[in-house]
Amino acid sequence: MGLVSAVALIEEIGAGALPSPLNVTIETSFLLREMESAEADSVMARIVAGEPATWGYLNASGDRDVDTSTVTEAGGSLSGSVHFVQDPQKCRAAVLAARREGQTAWFVVDIDAPGVTAKRDRIVDLTRDQGTLVLDNVAARQLTPYRVDDETFARARPALLTLAAADIAGAAEWMLQTTAEYAKTRVQFDRPIGFFQAVKHPLVDVMVSVDETRSLVYAAAAVFDHDRANALPAALLAKASASDTAEFVANRGTQLHGGIGFTWESDVQIYHKRLIHSQHLLGDGMACRAELGEWL
C-alpha cells in the first residue's frame, strides 16, 4: 500500500491505543522496500505471512546518523547493541544496521536466536515496549551491500516520521472527543463544565491543533507517494506539529478531566502516556524544526 493508506491505518491504531507491534512492523516494511533486494523481499514475505518485525540502529546516545551504529559485523555474525528499539518483546525479527571497516549495511536477525538478549526499557507508555538488543556473535542475513554512505534509511525516513505523526493524530483525536464528551456530562455549579469559557477555549485550541497535525500528516504521506524529492521537509513539518500536539493535547485532556484524569480508573492516562512517548520518537518538535531549518 501507499503511505496515505498506511497513515489511515496507523491513525486508527493510535485512536485505539492498540498494544500491538503492527506500527513498527509497518515501519519496517517501508524500510525494507527501500533496500530493493531479494533478501529484503524475503523478509517482507515473512511479514506478509503474519510475522511481526522491528528495526533499529541507534546507539546509547540516540545519534540519528546510521553510521554511528555500534553494531559490527564479522564473518556473517553481528555483535554490539542497538538501543531504543520499539516492541522487541513482541517481534520475531529485527532489521539492523551494522558497520564494517567504515561502511554500513543492513541485516536481519531473529530476536530469539542464540546470542540475542532483549533488555526492556522502563517507559511511561504501557501500550508499547521499548528495549535494547544486545548481540553477541549472532548469525545474521545481509540485506544490502556495504556502502560508505548508506541511503536506505534516508529514503525511508520520511515515511517513518509520517507514520509516527499519524499515531499521534489518532490518539489526540480520541483525547479531544473524550474530553469534549466529558465536558458535556460533568456538572459543576449546576452547569456542565463545558459551559464555562475556561473549558471551552482550551477545547477549541485542542481541536485546532489536532486538525493542523492531521492535515500535515496526510499532506506528507501524499508527497511521499508522489513527490519524493520534497518528502523529507513535508514529513519533518508533520512530525514537528504532531510532537507539539502530543504534549499540548495530553496535558489539556488530562487537566480538563479533573482529578479522575490522573487515576488508573480513567483511560485518559493511557493516551496521555502514549502521546508523550510518541512525542519523542524520531525527534520531538524542536529537533524536527531545527533539521527543517538546515534542510531549507
For residue 21, pLDDT over 90 is answered with: yes
pTM exceeding 0.75: yes
- CA 14, distance to chain mean position in Å, is 10
Q: What's the domain range around 244? A: 152-295
> What is the overall mean pLDDT for the chain?
93
108-152 pLDDT tens trace: 999 999 999 999 999 999 999 999 999 999 999 999 999 988 899
**Do 60 and 178 fall into the same domain?**
no
Residues 61 and 173 in one domain: no
User: Do both 245 and 178 map to the same domain?
Assistant: yes
* 33: DSSP letter: H
CATH code of residue 21? 2.40.110.10
Question: Could you tell me if 67 and 88 lie in one domain?
Answer: yes
Instruction: Over range 179-188, report the average pLDDT.
Output: 81
Count CB-CB contacts under 10 A for residue 245. Answer: 29
- As a whole number, mean pLDDT of residues 32-47 equals 95
pLDDT computed for residue 196 by the predictor: 65
pLDDT at 195 over 60: no
State mean pLDDT over 182-187.
Answer: 78
Looking at the structure of the chain, the number of domains it has is: 2
| SS3 category, 41 | helix
DSSP-derived 3-state class of residue 138: strand
Q: Which three cell numbers stand for residue 167?
A: 499515531
